[in-house]
Chains A and B, each alone.
Chain A
């Protein structure tokens, strides 16, 4: 099992640019979660999907953020336009119904200059 895969691992971009973060969940898992981690705010849930459908996006900070899950094996988190305050580590996690555990990817460290 390869675990949750995230790409890129590091992203440095300039303010105003579009950023796309990618996640491949563990095969067979039907729930996917996007988190953001910062020193100031800790670990925040941004959005989660169940069976590819967004269930709760109340954590998405503003309209600049959007997430999609076109199929069971791929999800993207997009920030357009990016701002310096978006700098953080973004984690993707997946789980399966009844498993009662979330498996985290290694994260994407985003720096917006």
Chain B
């Protein structure tokens, strides 16, 4: 069975500070990994995805994530956050590329 754990439900961070949102997964087979962002009153939008190859994945809006197979993690990072990054962030896994399993989400609040 697959599961996704987002360890932090809420992350407050000051503007221009770095941030890391944590995601761990459990799976007995190879997986595809994703981060989605949800702005208030909107649907989910893909930030980045890991399918294979380089373990460091770069996405939109300056975000990046690193796949660590030994630690079964896929943490999301940004070196300097903006007010506009305030949103809900979801980690997801899939082993078929079709059906996704989402984490419970992390609410990122950027403080001016």
Contacts and interface: CB of A to CB of B under 8 A. Distances in A.
Given A45-B99, A56-B99, A91-B43, A100 B94 contact: yes
Contact of A95 (B51, B98, B102, B103): B98
Contacts of B102: 42-43, 45
Interface residues of A, number: 23
Interface string A47-91: 010100000100000000000000000000000000000000001
Interface string B17-55: 000000000000000101010000011111001010000
Nearest to B46: A101
Most chain B CB within 10 A, of A43, A98, A106, A107, is at: A43
B104 A42 contact: yes
Please classify how large the interface on chain B is, using the bins under 10, 10 to 19, 20 to 34, 35 or more.
20 to 34
Contacts of A104: 36, 43-45
Contacts of B97: 97-100
A106 B94 CA distance: 22
A102 B25 CA distance: 19
Most chain A CB within 10 A, of B36, B51, B102, B103, is at: B102
A88 B68 CA distance: 35
A50 B45 contact: no
Contacts of A31: 98
B44 A106 contact: no
Interface of A: 4, 31, 33, 42-43, 45, 48, 50, 56, 91, 93, 95, 97-107
